[in-house]
Structure 1
Amino acid sequence: MSEPEQTPESDPARPERKTGTRKALLQAALTLVGEGRSFTSLGLREIARQADVVPNAFYRHFRNTDELGLELVEEVGITLRRLLREARRIDVSKGSILRRSVRVYLDYVKANRLLFQFISTERSGGSRILRLAIRTDVTHFTNEMAQDIRALGRFADLPTMRLQMVCGLIVMTMLAAATDILDLPPGQPLLENEMEENFVLQLQVILLGGAHWREQAG
């Protein structure tokens, strides 16, 4: 008996190949950014060539380069929020939540250099669509941090709006620190420890200010 003809839809390996192509396109864009290219200057044909796929394959996954960029922004936001949420929920007897969160963040930035190079450049320039997406993600990050701090019983007397402002300052400090982390020379543990300690102190100052905040009358 002859084998039934296999159509593209019935090919069991097709979903895996589609996922592989999508990842290849995302990585190709990041690789080009890592070579000093502005993301907004990239064309879909160039990204497809870097990913070693035909240009039509790009359209099977993304309508345009902005849509590809939006997925990169989402990837950073979802993964980083999950990692920091886990760090904040570990038993406090195992060490400072703040210091542990800083270490998680430093390790994540170092392990995802190209992603953060992309975020750092697109946050202040380039596509308005991506700037707004990053700004929206920062807002989600800030609100979630405020909710977690409330759940931990911290800053109980601080109005919600002020707590969100404190968390916003923390997030902005984290984004600013990413550039310093990316510029850190490899194999320099003393410099890295100094940077980590300075980062912790900056966040402690913000939290201390939040803890002593008093609303001014009239």
Structure 2
Amino acid sequence: MSIEGVAGESRAERKERTRRAILDAALDQLAETSFDSLSLRQLAKAVGIVPTGFYRHFATLEELGLALVEESFGTLRELIREVRRSDLVPDLLIDRSVEVLAEQLDAHTAHYRFIARERYGGSAVIRDAIRHELGLFERELVTDLARMPEIAHWGAADLHVLASLFVDLMVSASGELVGPRAEQPGRRREVIETLRNQGRMIVVGAAGWQPLSS
């Protein structure tokens, strides 16, 4: 993880490379410890900078944590957004959303282990940032659900309940898929299939729901 000079590299490129190295080193440490136990000294040593050099890139450790939260959710949100824009029937939409989620978790396991642990972790700042990102998911989903003819007559409260069910389901499955049990033979496939079926059950239940508000 220690950084080395690159011939012809500009100052801005070197700074960005060091920042990236700090983020990666933090993810490595967070595989074994909570964010509250993250060591600035060990982080700097892993990157190959002095501890004070950290502050050229992040004002505080919590700012580093916020950058990790933003990274973790940014790509996933855009991919899920693209899936929702496609003209798919509900079952296919659920299947594709599950596929995208599983692919992202495989590609960025360290990020989502960090999210799964810190969602209820010791840092209030990180918890609030994760809650904010999940809230963005929910609000975007509410907007999409409101366009569906079958539930166009639903009120905002009912749409938020439905959206929150999908978001909670996604978060729960994500924690399972990046947890140690997912490494057991067949466990990952079982979690993904269960997630698909649960999503379909929510759709079936929504079809018969009598809205409480309009």
Is the TM value for this pair above 0.5? yes
2:27 alignment counterpart: 30
- Asked whether 1:147 is paired with 2:143, we answer yes
Letter in 1 for 2:142: A
> In terms of mean alpha carbon deviation, does 151-160 or 12-21 score higher?
151-160
| DSSP 3-state at the match of 1:96 | helix
2:183 alignment counterpart: 185
Tell me the matched-pair count: 203
The one-character-per-residue Cα deviations of 1:165-189 (angstroms, maximum 9, x if unpaired) are 1111111111111121113117x4x
2:112 alignment counterpart: 116
1:73 alignment counterpart: 69
Provide the rounded CA distance (Å) in 2 between the counterparts of 1:191 and 1:120: 18
CA contact (8 A) 1:73 1:133 kept: yes
- Asked whether 1:14 is paired with 2:11, we answer yes
Query: CA-atom RMSD, angstroms?
Result: 2.1
Provide the rounded CA distance (Å) in 2 between the counterparts of 1:46 and 1:88: 42
Change over 3 Å in CA distance of 1:67–1:216 after alignment to 2: closer
Offset of residue 193 of structure 1? 2.9
Matches within 5 A, 1:47-126: 47-92=43-88, 96-126=92-122
1:175 alignment counterpart: 171
What runs of 5+ residues in structure 1 fail to find an aligned partner? 1-10
Letter in 1 for 2:183: P
Change over 3 Å in CA distance of 1:91–1:41 after alignment to 2: same
1:8 alignment counterpart: none
Equivalent pairs: percent with the same residue? 36
Provide the rounded CA distance (Å) in 1 between the counterparts of 2:173 and 2:110: 15
| DSSP 3-state at the match of 2:183 | coil
Scaled by the length of structure 1, what TM-score is found?
Answer: 0.85
CA contact (8 A) 1:81 1:141 kept: yes
Letter in 2 for 1:100: R
Provide the rounded CA distance (Å) in 1 between the counterparts of 2:150 and 2:111: 32
CA contact (8 A) 1:44 1:64 kept: no
1:7 alignment counterpart: none
CA contact (8 A) 2:34 2:121 kept: no
